[in-house]
Structure 1
Amino acid sequence: MSDQDLLFEIVDTLETVGLNRDEYQLHRVIDIEALEQLVNSADSHAGLEIRFSVGEFRLCVTQSDVRVLTSEEEDS
């Protein structure tokens, strides 16, 4: 996944849960290039998850997807 694809996937996920683009500044939260390198370098069987917050939402990025965590997932 390229850093632009990952960026668009993160933005799309945030917009899906109702967070408008003017409500956050991703460059202050994450380094998209570093995140993309980390995701792409992980062993596909390792189950790497990178979790971070954007506004009130907690995101989880893996090699296969970007999703907003539920309260149950956040506790694990």
Structure 2
Amino acid sequence: MSNEPLSQLSTELGAAPPPSLARLTEDQLTYLAGALSKERESRAAGLGEAAEAALGLVPALARGPVRRILFK
């Protein structure tokens, strides 16, 4: 068994995966790492959308400067 899927999963988790995950096949580990990556991207996109929606509460003339301050 290659260590690449476990390494990829470690990268996605930001820590060593639990020992019980070593029982999964390479395909399962790759699938899990991919699912975690997609979820992280989805959350980041949702956060960006929420921030843009919040800017709608800022007066129009101040939106540009506020956007530059918040999203350097």
TM-score (norm 1): 0.32
Structure with greater helix percent: 2
Structure with greater strand percent: 1
Q: Which has the larger radius of gyration?
A: 2
TM-score (norm 2): 0.34
